[in-house]
Amino acid sequence: MNRQKGSAIIILSFIIIASLAVIGTGVFLTNNRTSKNSVYIDKDQVDKGTTTKIDATSPVNQIKLENKQVTTSPVANADFITVFNLIKQANKEKNTTVYTQHATQKTKGMINSGFKPIWYSNMELLNIKEKNNDITATIKVTQENGRVEDMDILFIKESGVWKIAIAEQLERMAQSLQNTPPAVTSNSTGLPDFIVTDIKTYPNPPKVNNEKTQIEVFIKNIGTAPSPKGVSFSLVIGDNSESNPTIGDPIAVGQTVSWVETPYRFEFQRDDQLGNKIIKVVLNNRHSIKESSEANNTYSQTVNFVN
């Protein structure tokens, strides 16, 4: 009888531990895949420039930003410690010089843009602007794969609380998730015409089984009218990876936009994925936008993937 009782207790203990593990995993996945959770930034971490664990359960601590309070971030699991340090240093120097700080974290830093993580090796504060009681800090991000881009960090005030967001990425994500695309209409003055002008990889050549490998597709409207909405396209890498992204914003006449794709690691973790692969792009593959010509919508480029 005692042996049965002991076995029941052991089994019950395993069930409780397993349940807690599932719950914990669920929270972890949610924090990594959503931009709705708040992430609290500890004031002591900012002052010391260190990066201990940042999650949605940390206490709220406030830091000063141009005499304003910044307390939370709506971007889950985002490391903005370096950004805060850059802004604080710029304020200290009265914005008269550009301050560059190399990341010292073990991972060298990560920003979750709302889609996929951006691993950076360096950040450089370019300027700080204030408009309509909001603050925008423009930074230059050098990613570990060598790609360089400017990024706007937007500070907004909601219900008396200052929050931080990556303006452009979150705005595009919100538009793609919430806005209903406008109906396709003809334009009496002309039609758009989309072509792919280039495909670049970071690093070059790209590496398999590496979450930092990125593929950037450059798309240009060579037509005589802007597109009524963002253009969708298919992106096929070799024979094992296909995605169907959509450019969030309309493309003006003569404008070139780009889309950055990060292939999932499991798609490129076998030896047979090494070597030359054809990257194929088919623009407007859903035929949702009327173009002056669709004969130039397909573009292919051979890329050598290395280990």
Shared domain for 63 and 129, answered yes or no, is yes
Say if 29 falls within a structural domain: no
Last residue of a domain, one of 178, 204, 220: 178
Task: Count the domains in the chain.
Answer: 2
Shared domain for 228 and 114, answered yes or no, is no
Shared domain for 214 and 291, answered yes or no, is yes
Torsion 211-212-215-219 (CA) sign: positive
Say if 251 falls within a structural domain: yes
Shared domain for 161 and 205, answered yes or no, is no
Shared domain for 162 and 87, answered yes or no, is yes
Say if 120 falls within a structural domain: yes
CA 185 to chain centre: 31
Shared domain for 95 and 131, answered yes or no, is yes
Say if 3 falls within a structural domain: no
Q: What's the CA gap between 20 and 78, in Å, rounded?
A: 25
Shared domain for 167 and 47, answered yes or no, is yes
Q: What's the CA gap between 247 and 156, in Å, rounded?
A: 25
Say if 184 falls within a structural domain: no
Range of the domain at 258: 194-305
Model-level pTM?
A: 0.44
Shared domain for 159 and 126, answered yes or no, is yes
Phi, psi dihedrals of residue 2, rounded to the nearest 5° = -65, -35
Q: What is the pLDDT of residues 1-14, one digit of tens each?
A: 544 445 544 443 43
Q: Which residues contact 180 (CB under 8 A, 6 or more apart)?
A: none
SS3 of residue 179 by DSSP: coil
Say if 8 falls within a structural domain: no
Shared domain for 237 and 157, answered yes or no, is no
Closest to 81 in 3D by CA, of 119, 114, 54 = 54
Q: Residue ranges of the chain with pLDDT lower than 70?
A: 1-141, 143-146, 149-189, 240, 264-273
Q: What is the pLDDT of residues 236-295, one digit of tens each?
A: 887 767 788 888 788 999 999 888 887 765 455 555 667 888 889 999 988 889 999 988
